[in-house]
Amino acid sequence: MAYNLLKGKKGIVFGALNENSIAWKVAERAAEEGAELVLTNTEVSIRLGTIGQLAERLGTIVVPADATSVEDLENLTDRAMEHFGGKFDFVLHSVGMSPNVRKGRAYGDLDYGFLSKTLDISAISFHKMLQVLMRKDAINDWGSIVALTYIAAQRTFAGYSDMADAKALLESFARSFGAEYGRKHHVRINTVSQSPTMTTAGSGIAGMTDMLDFAERMSPLGNATAEDCANYVVTLFSDLTRKVTMQNLYHDGGYSSMGLSEDVMRVYTQGLAK
Ligand SMILES: NC(=O)c1ccc[n+]([C@@H]2O[C@H](COP(=O)([O-])OP(=O)(O)OC[C@H]3O[C@@H](n4cnc5c(N)ncnc54)[C@H](O)[C@@H]3O)[C@@H](O)[C@H]2O)c1
């Protein structure tokens, strides 16, 4: 059901690789709510994924950009402003990758070249994006910027490795930059801490299927799906949340407030009985 929450609004969505991507669902929901979009991803992801189909369906353009390249981000911002005929209102940063996770490096045996890449792609790209947007004065007053994160920034999760450090930095950038952008241009910046979700990036985490099952059993409302996430993000882009900024917002069916659920206890007890 659509509510016209984003009627007249325009925004950039980073990170739709394929139909499982959280960014894909956000783009679909934002369009349903009346937004005009520009999509972006790396050249490789555009080639290997299916973002072109999404752009065709939404009647919009895809601008290639490596989120670690300031030059690409400047070009993306210019192209989006040309496409929209001026400033725009929202951005979703849905970008993450860890070569250490991909290569299965243990946390006590990180490759530091890989760690730099993890931090650059998954966190510093957010600062670069924000700096380019503010320098170019690309976002309308009371605009909204959201990045996706995970609770491993606050608590240690086996297998999440250096992505946890990247997410901690990402959330810190949202607070620090939120103060500056809010004061100067009334632009709000938040991170949404999403349940584990079976996407291409998600499935790269070791033991993802068990992690999903554990989180499902722990969360009173069950895991939040990518579609649920899209609904939430759309409210954050809307005018209904104009004073929400510099927050890390859990979107996880209650998981982050749980210690132990009856369902998990039951599985554990049965496991011990075997
Ligand atoms: N899937 C989960 O369990 C989960 C949970 C919480 C948060 N998140 C976060 O959600 C976001 C989206 O991930 P997803 O799960 O939808 O997976 P996904 O694999 O569909 O999306 C990740 C995207 O990052 C893009 N990307 C990688 N390197 C890039 C670069 N240098 N420049 C620009 N884009 C680049 C990829 O092309 C891809 O589109 C990530 O930040 C991820 O950490 C995912």
The backbone torsions φ and ψ at residue 176, rounded to the nearest 5 degrees and listed phi first, read -65, -45
Query: pLDDT (tens digit, 9 = 90+) per residue, 208-252?
Result: 999 999 999 999 999 999 999 999 999 999 999 999 999 999 999
**Residue 203 confidence class, pLDDT cut points 50, 70, 90:** confident
User: What's the rounded mean pLDDT across residues 180-201?
Assistant: 97
Ligand 1 center to residue 124 CA distance, Å?
Answer: 14
Distance 273 CA to ligand 1 centre (A): 39
**CA–centroid distance, residue 64 to ligand 1 (Å):** 15
Average pLDDT over residues 115-136: 98
What is the pLDDT averaged over residues 78-98?
98
Q: Is residue 170 lining ligand 1, measured as CB closer than 6 Å?
A: no
Whether residue 271 has pLDDT greater than 80: no
Q: For residue 186, how many other CB atoms are within 10 A of its CB?
A: 15
Report the pLDDT value the prediction gives residue 270, as an integer from 0 to 100: 85
**pLDDT of amino acid 60:** 98
Task: Measure Cα distances from 211 to 108, 139, 163 in Å.
Answer: 21, 37, 16
Pocket test for ligand 1, best of 94, 101, 150 (most atoms within 8 A of CB): 94
Alpha-carbon distance of 198 to 21, in angstroms, equals 9
Split at pLDDT 50, 70, 90, the class of 186 is very high
Nearest CA to 15 among 34, 35, 37, 36? 37
Work out the average pLDDT over 88-116. Answer: 97
In tens, the pLDDT along 168-177 reads 999 999 999 9
| pLDDT band for position 272 (cuts 50, 70, 90) | low
- C-beta 68 within 6 A of ligand 1: yes
The answer to whether the beta carbons of residues 186 and 141 sit under 8 Å apart is yes
Given ligand 1 and candidates 69, 93, 199, 232, which is best to mutate, with the most ligand atoms within 8 Å of its CB? 199
Q: Could you tell me if the CB of 153 is within 6 A of ligand 1?
A: no
> What are the extents of the domains in the chain?
10-273
CB of 202 shorter than 6 A to ligand 1: yes
What's the mean pLDDT in 100-104? 94
**What pLDDT sits at residue 124?**
99
Amino acid 215 reads: A
Confidence at residue 206, expressed as pLDDT on a 0 to 100 scale: 82
Q: Is the CB of 253 under 6 A from ligand 1?
A: no
Q: Examine the pLDDT at 129 and tell me if it is beyond 80.
A: yes
Handedness of CA 36, 41, 46, 50 (dihedral sign): negative
Question: Which CATH code of 3.40.50.720, 1.10.150.130, 3.40.50.1370, 3.10.450.40 fits the domain covering 10-273?
Answer: 3.40.50.720
Query: HEC states along 170-214?
Result: HHHHHHHHHHHHHHHHCCEEEEEEECCCCCCCHHHCCCHHHHHHH
Whether residue 191 has its Cβ less than 6 Å from ligand 1: no
Structure tokens at 183: 């004061």
